[in-house]
Amino acid sequence: MVKVITYGTYDMLHYGHIRLLERAKALGDYLIVGVTSDDYDKTRGKINNQQSLMERIAAVKETGLADEIIVEEYEGQKIDDIRRLGVDIFTVGSDWVGHFDYLKEFCKVIYLPRTEGISSSEVRAEKRKLRIGLVGSASFRTKFVNESKFVNGVEVVGAYLSRDDPETRDLFSAGSYGELLDRVDAVYIVSKPEDHYKHTKQALEAGKHVLCESPMAYTREQCRALYALAAEKKLILMDAIKTAYSTAYERLIYMAKGGKIGRVVSIDAICTSLRGGISLGGVDLSQRWNSMCGWAPAAMLPVFQIFGTDYKDRTFYTKFQDKEKNIDAFTKIDFLYPSGVATVKVATGAKAEGELVIAGTTGYIYVPAPWWKTDYFEVRYENPEDNKRFFYQLDGEGIRYEIVAFAKAIESGKNMNYVPEDISEAIAGVIGDFNDRINMVEFQ
């Protein structure tokens, strides 16, 4: 029996795929089809498959051409599969010519002519693009524009309040916010934190989906009201903490919650930046975010994800740079929970190692700086031989995945909840408490 194997993503299965499978099958007696997992595709830079792995597998199955379907999950798996399954022929389309010659050591390699004029990318592109408008004037707006170019099916069509930035100046529309809202399906809000609530509310009222930088509002109640409005209008409202969309970060949170380091007793998260932030030398601070708004949402995320939002006590230790303008150079927040403690340190006027340490009763998770855009972490134990290292590809600091998640949520009508509503609300609550100086110790 001649065994043939072929691999692919098979997103939105089209006749190019079917023709390839037919010819692959005709090469032998038994056809094995490897369908790529979503994670593996991510590492290959294919981030916006429209269909899930299960849907893609079901579509391949339905062709009736595959005798066996397997999932391709990691780099180097092809060699393992070929050996394990006793494969005689490996085949893929001619777009891969030369790429898999290294497999000739293990079996016959055949490149079949690719069907002209069709691809999953084209099928995906046929759908109307999601038109996104930008609202704000912070520097990561430019990153958003660049990252959106990697995501099929979305298009940044305009910006409001962004005249200052040369790279996005051409997107700037001289009209009002309302005029921008008329031209888009969704907005990404990165205006000054005190305007987030107002801008988000107006967008939702106009029937537009919203991806808003954290904090979404300055009080818990306002944040809750925004989510209620979004639900009522059947719109997607997402909190844009990019860390939440990093695969490595997601995994380490699951590990911490899943007992890999025993019971979690303490979390220490540090985020600082001098570049682009304020400096102690004193510059025009009016346009800048303070340390709390710039960093605390991301820094509090692991705390709230692991311990929940129901803390028993919370204290700020703050060094202000300009108290009147509410600019803190450095803030430490201590949280007390019934079963643990957490410390968050944020600064735009001081520098420290930006690492995350989650301590448990049997070991700890260590994420090196800059942990908020991590692709790597370690689970460490008393006996170093038990330590484990984990790496997951991260493209575009998580912003790219965030845009994919936002577009998918809009398309499916289901919020993906990378940052759950109660966490968004708790973050707004802490920022509000900071603004009201509740439980704050100041130092000079």
In the complex with ligand CTP, the residue whose CB is nearer, 20 or 270, is: 20
Shortest spacing between CB 77 and ligand CTP, in angstroms:
16
| Least Cβ distance, residue 43 to ligand CTP (angstroms) | 15
CB of 115 to ligand CTP, least distance (A): 4
DSSP assignment of 264-275 equals EEEEEEEEE--T
Cβ of residue 161: shortest distance to ligand CTP, in angstroms? 36
**Which contacts (CB < 8 Å, 24+ apart) does range 280-288 have?**
280/321, 280/329, 280/349, 280/350, 282/321, 282/322, 285/321, 285/322, 285/325, 285/327, 286/325, 287/137, 287/192, 288/327, 288/348
Cβ pair 290, 327 in contact under 8 A? yes
Q: How, if at all, do strands 30-36 and 68-72 pair?
A: parallel
What is residue 83's three-state secondary structure?
helix
Cβ closer to ligand CTP: 148 or 219?
148
* Tokens coding 34: 């490897």
Binding residues for ligand CTP, how many (CB under 6 A)?
17
Q: Cα–Cα–Cα angle for 311, 399, 294, nearest 5°? A: 50
Residue 6 Cβ, how far from ligand CTP at the closest point, in Å? 6
The residue nearest ligand CTP at its CB is: 93
Q: Which is nearer to ligand CTP, 63 or 393 (CB)?
A: 63
Q: Which of residues 112-131 bind ligand CTP (CB under 6 A)?
A: 114-115, 118-121
- Is 152 among the residues that bind ligand CTP (CB under 6 A)? no
Return the number of the residue (149 or 163) whose C-beta is nearest ligand CTP: 149
Given strand 340-347, what is the order of strands in its sheet?
388-391, 376-381, 363-367, 356-360, 264-272, 340-347, 327-337, 313-322, 440-442
Give the shortest CB-16-to-ligand CTP separation in angstroms: 3
- 16 interacts with ligand CTP by CB under 6 A: yes
User: Judged by CB, which is closer to ligand CTP: 76, or 117?
Assistant: 117
Burial profile 160-186: b = 16 or more Cβ within 10 angstroms, e = fewer: bbbeebeebeebbeeeebeebbeebbb
Q: Return the number of the residue (46 or 314) whose C-beta is nearest ligand CTP.
A: 46
| SS3 state of residue 164 | coil
Per CB under 6 A, contacts with ligand CTP among 17-46 are 17, 20
Q: Give the contact letters, 68-107, x = binds to ligand CTP (CB under 6 A), - = no.
A: ------------------------xx-x------------
8 lines the binding site for ligand CTP (CB under 6 A): yes
Residue 5 C-beta: closest distance to ligand CTP, Å: 11
**Which residue lies nearer to ligand CTP by CB, 52 or 287?**
52
- Tell me which residue of 267, 215, 218 sits closest to 241, measured CA to CA: 215
> What amino acid is encoded at 407 in this protein?
A
| C-alpha to C-alpha distance for 146 and 158, rounded to whole angstroms | 14
> Residue from 3, 4, 5, 9 that binds ligand CTP (CB under 6 A)?
9
**Residue whose CB is less far from ligand CTP, 50 or 435:** 50
Q: Tell me how far apart the alpha carbons of residues 126 and 170 are, in angstroms, rounded to a whole number.
A: 26
| Alpha-carbon gap, residue 378 to 368, rounded angstroms | 9
Q: What one-character DSSP code corresponds to residue 115?
A: P
For residue 335 the two structure tokens come to 């949280």
The residue range among 11-19, 267-275, 341-349, 402-410 that interacts with ligand CTP, by the rule CB under 6 A, is 11-19
Specify the stretch interacting with ligand CTP by CB under 6 A; choose among 9-17, 214-222, 316-324, 379-387.
Answer: 9-17
- Contacting residues toward ligand CTP, per CB under 6 A: 6, 8-11, 16-17, 20, 92-93, 95, 114-115, 118-121
